[in-house]
RNA sequence: UGACCUAUGGUGUAAUGGUAACACAUCUGAUUUUGGUUCAGACGUUCAAGGUUCGAAUCCUUGUAGGUCAACCA
């Protein structure tokens, strides 16, 4: 019912970009074509904000029966690397999208772009400027004060062409000359004050090698690249809004077809308790605050993948947050909700004790061992069940026992009963402590008639709680990495002081004395499971045959934790 | 003291001149061999002031608040 309504709502209510496209189709714009593109610069790893953009662009194409390109915006060889190209392609595919045709590169269009630059020179729309970047900046004015024209602004087309060709031929050093568009130094839009089209960079490019020593700027590249690829709707984030007049201006100078790509801007994603800027993420990596771009605490696609998030959950998240033009901060709990919802259906249950305490069942026969049957996923019967060994000595979670328990504590305490999931009902009789008073062992009795699924009266008895456990002799040691939010401030990047001051020092706890049931050995790297009553975990890449390492993807919702922390 | 953009519950997003709704979060309760899941319910919203209109979140005016723009970055 709910899902049906949601599905209906989805088809009926459009976001503002979908409305524009629907309207364009109605008006036969571009022969009703819809062609989008995802245009990352290969200078860093993709993060959840890019995932929003990817879902948007590929989603738009899918919804309107169009196409979506992947295009690398690689116009600056000083920042870009193949490593990033590869990781971006992997991430896009992992998220579940396939681009139309081959991968595109802005650098594929360098020849055409160069020709267009010469055309603009010939048309008197562009000129070579000999000034330093400082001089040019000083003439630029401010948003409220108009700029001054360059002394080189009125060179003849012939002279400009000659100089530009020399720039290309490598006759000048970096920064010695640049090519500028001749627009309006008094424009209220700073981007229209004779923007730079080409600069000299003597650096090998990851695709074009040493063919070029001049490289086009973003503004002189993006719209034309869209045009060349037949893009109809060029979706980007809000900070490019002021670039739109320039985007259109270049196209006006260079083409006169009816077809024209249209730039549309939307608000980028902000997530609470993390940072999203490439610069800040890079800083975390370079200064080793995290283990790398794919550290499970990072909001990067590779980090989330390693953490155990699913592409389905991320796509669902992107759907739920919507698309609009106002600044937003999405509560990270929505992302966590999407992950739990997906994993609840998919992840098999397993028992693992993170902080074990020994429990001995006094009246259980010495040396006896039996197998009990446990369902793999109560949400999905088809996942079947498995056998778990049970015996006289087991381990349970230290937090599942309390000597002086408050009323609201439903778990094990002296004189009270709990059920061991899939096995028997036990009653705590006494504890053994060490010299410091720390409990080292809990001694219990069990009700032999209460075995799960035996059908006996005793097996149907209601007890306050059911807890997880592992049999001592066959327990498998595992390592668990408990991840928490990387920052302890909702908006670490928006504060006056350094965002690193808000790093959560407890964002990673590595626990090395955990124990799991034998079935844990069947898991492969990256497999996702639910550790009963605790959370979702996945097998980390660092695992070996000797040591299985688990990353905590997300905890289960925990009303008891909420309750007990409130009483503190 | 410029141009452009934005303003709906705690957080997001709908409502396209006609009953302000959906999700997350929060809080109750029921169910439960996971204090999970599921189910039922509660809480709480149109930045302000004028105007147009039978009727305004929506249109107009004027404010206010927030954001973006002054890289040979994208």
**Please, which contacts does A78-87 make with residues 24 or more away whose CB atoms are closer than 8 Å?**
A78/A201, A78/A203, A79/A41, A79/A43, A80/A41, A80/A42, A80/A43, A80/A205, A80/A206, A81/A42, A81/A43, A81/A206, A82/A42, A82/A206, A84/A42, A84/A43, A84/A44, A84/A45, A85/A42, A85/A206, A87/A45, A87/A46, A87/A293, A87/A302
Annotated catalytic sites of A, by residue?
A: 41, 268, 278
pLDDT at residue A3 greater than cutoff 60? no
- The mean per-residue pLDDT over the stretch A236-248 comes to 97
Distance A3 CA to B51 C1' (A): 43
Binning pLDDT at 50, 70 and 90, where does residue A544 land?
A: very high
Chain B positions within 7 A of any protein Cβ atom are 1-8, 10-16, 22-27, 33-39, 66-74
The pLDDT, as a whole number, for residue A2 is 33
Distance A320 CA to B39 C1' (A): 23
Nucleotide nearest to A328 (CA to C1'): B12
Task: Tell me the per-residue pLDDT of A387-402, one tens digit each, with 9 for 90 and over.
Answer: 999 999 999 999 999 9
- The mean per-residue pLDDT over the stretch A125-138 comes to 97
pLDDT at residue A258 greater than cutoff 60? yes
Query: Sheet of A104-105: strands edge to edge?
Result: A35-38, A67-72, A104-105
Give the residue whose CA sits closest to B3 at C1'.
A188
The pLDDT, as a whole number, for residue A513 is 97
- pLDDT, averaged across chain A: 96
Distance A343 CA to B26 C1' (A): 24
The pLDDT, as a whole number, for residue A6 is 38
ipTM: 0.97
Distance A326 CA to B6 C1' (A): 5
Number of Cβ atoms within 10 Å of the Cβ of A368:
9
Nucleotide nearest to A72 (CA to C1'): B74
Token digits of residue A93? 């595919």
A196: enclosing H helix or E strand: strand A196-200
* A390-419 core/surface letters (b: 16 or more CB in 10 A; e: else): bbbebbbbeebbbeeeeeebbbbbbebbbb
Place of tokens 């209460």: A450
The pLDDT, as a whole number, for residue A565 is 84
Instruction: Please answer whether residues A368 and A528 qualify as being in contact, where contact means their C-beta atoms are separated by less than 8 angstroms.
Output: no
pLDDT at residue A276 greater than cutoff 50? yes
The pLDDT, as a whole number, for residue A495 is 87
Where would I find the H helices in A439-512? none
Token digits of residue A456? 């006996």
The pLDDT, as a whole number, for residue A550 is 98
Q: How far apart are CA A178 and CA A117, in angstroms?
A: 12
Q: How far apart are CA A258 and CA A251, in angstroms?
A: 11
CA angle in degrees (0–180, nearest 5) for A489-A495-A501: 60
Q: What percent of chain A has pLDDT over 70?
A: 98
- The mean per-residue pLDDT over the stretch A29-50 comes to 97
Task: Tell me the per-residue pLDDT of A143-178, one tens digit each, with 9 for 90 and over.
Answer: 999 999 999 999 999 999 999 999 999 999 999 999
- The mean per-residue pLDDT over the stretch A46-68 comes to 98
pTM score, two decimals? 0.96
Alpha-carbon Rg of chain A, whole angstroms? 31
**Distances A409 to A207, A233, A431, A495 between C-alpha atoms, Å:** 64, 57, 18, 40
Give the residue whose CA sits closest to B70 at C1'.
A142
Binning pLDDT at 50, 70 and 90, where does residue A568 land?
A: low
Domains and CATH numbers, chain A: 1-102+217-271+308-346 (3.40.50.620), 110-216 (3.90.800.10), 278-307+478-567 (2.40.240.10), 356-473 (2.40.240.10)
Nucleotide nearest to A74 (CA to C1'): B74
The pLDDT, as a whole number, for residue A13 is 87
Give the residue whose CA sits closest to B13 at C1'.
A322
Secondary structure of A270-325 as H, E, C letters: CECCCCCCHHHHHHHHHCCCCCCCCCCCCCEHHHHHHHCCCHHHHHHHHHHHCCCC
Binning pLDDT at 50, 70 and 90, where does residue A567 land?
A: confident
pLDDT at residue A4 greater than cutoff 80? no
Distance A83 CA to B17 C1' (A): 54
pLDDT at residue A261 greater than cutoff 70? yes
pLDDT at residue A438 greater than cutoff 70? yes
pLDDT at residue A187 greater than cutoff 70? yes
DSSP label of A479: E
Binning pLDDT at 50, 70 and 90, where does residue A10 land?
A: very low
The pLDDT, as a whole number, for residue A566 is 76
Give the residue whose CA sits closest to B38 at C1'.
A379
**Distances A328 to A18, A190, A323, A445 between C-alpha atoms, Å:** 19, 26, 10, 56
Nucleotide nearest to A405 (CA to C1'): B35
């Amino acid at each position: 019912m709910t899902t049906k309504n949601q599905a209906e709502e989805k088809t009926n209510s459009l976001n503002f970009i979908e409305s524009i496209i629907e309207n364009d189709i109605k008006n036969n714009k571009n022969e009703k074509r819809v062609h989008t593109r995802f245009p990352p610069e290969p200078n860093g790893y993709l993060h959840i904000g890019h995932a929003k953009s990817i879902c948007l662009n590929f989603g738009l194409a899918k919804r309107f029966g169009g196409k979506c390109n992947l295009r690398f915006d690689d116009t600056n060889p000083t920042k870009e690397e193949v490593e990033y190209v590869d990781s971006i392609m992997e991430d896009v595919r992992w998220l579940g999208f396939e681009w139309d045709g081959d991968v595109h590169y802005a650098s594929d269009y360098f020849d055409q772009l160069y020709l267009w630059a010469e055309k603009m020179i010939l048309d008197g729309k562009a000129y070579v400027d000999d000034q330093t970047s400082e001089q040019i900046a000083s003439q630029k004015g401010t948003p409220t004060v108009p700029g001054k024209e360059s002394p080189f602004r009125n060179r003849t087309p012939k002279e400009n062409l000659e100089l530009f060709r020399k720039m290309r031929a490598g006759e000048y050093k970096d920064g010695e000359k640049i090519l500028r568009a001749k627009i309006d130094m008094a424009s209220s839009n700073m981007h229209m004050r004779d923007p730079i089209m080409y600069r000299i960079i003597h650096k090998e490019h990851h695709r074009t090698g040493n063919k070029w020593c001049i490289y086009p700027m973003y503004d002189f590249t993006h719209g034309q690249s869209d045009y060349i690829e037949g893009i109809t709707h060029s979706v980007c984030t809000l900070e490019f809004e002021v670039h739109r007049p320039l985007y259109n201006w270049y196209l006006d100078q260079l083409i006169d077809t009816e077809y024209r790509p249209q730039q549309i801007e939307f608000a980028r994603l902000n997530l609470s308790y993390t940072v999203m800027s490439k610069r800040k993420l890079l800083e975390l990596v370079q200064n080793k605050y995290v283990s790398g771009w794919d550290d499970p605490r990072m909001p990067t696609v590779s980090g989330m993948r390693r953490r155990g998030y699913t592409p389905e959950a991320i796509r669902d998240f992107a759907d739920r947050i919507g698309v609009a033009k106002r600044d937003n901060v999405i509560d990270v709990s929505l992302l966590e909700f999407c992950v739990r919802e997906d994993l609840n259906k998919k992840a098999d249950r397993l028992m693992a004790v993170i902080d074990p305490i020994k429990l001995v069942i006094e009246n259980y026969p010495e040396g006896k061992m039996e197998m009990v049957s446990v369902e793999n996923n109560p949400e999905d019967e088809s996942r079947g069940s498995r056998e778990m060994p049970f015996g006289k000595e087991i381990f349970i979670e230290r937090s599942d026992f309390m000597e002086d328990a408050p009323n609201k504590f439903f778990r094990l305490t002296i004189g009270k009963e709990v059920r061991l999931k899939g096995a028997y009902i036990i009653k705590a009789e006494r504890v053994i402590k060490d010299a410091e008073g720390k409990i080292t062992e809990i001694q219990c009795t069990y009700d032999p008639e209460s075995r799960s699924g035996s059908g006996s009266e005793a097996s149907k008895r209601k007890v306050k709680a059911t807890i997880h456990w592992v049999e001592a002799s066959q327990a498998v040691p595992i390592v668990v990495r408990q991840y928490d939010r990387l920052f302890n401030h909702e908006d670490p990047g928006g504060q006056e002081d350094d965002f690193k001051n808000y790093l959560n020092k407890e964002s990673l706890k590595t626990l090395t004395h955990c124990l799991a049931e034998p079935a844990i050995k069947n898991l492969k790297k990256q497999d996702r499971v639910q550790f009963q009553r605790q959370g979702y975990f996945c097998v980390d890449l660092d695992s070996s045959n000797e040591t299985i390492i688990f990353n905590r993807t997300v905890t289960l919702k925990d009303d008891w934790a909420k309750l007990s922390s409130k009483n503190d």
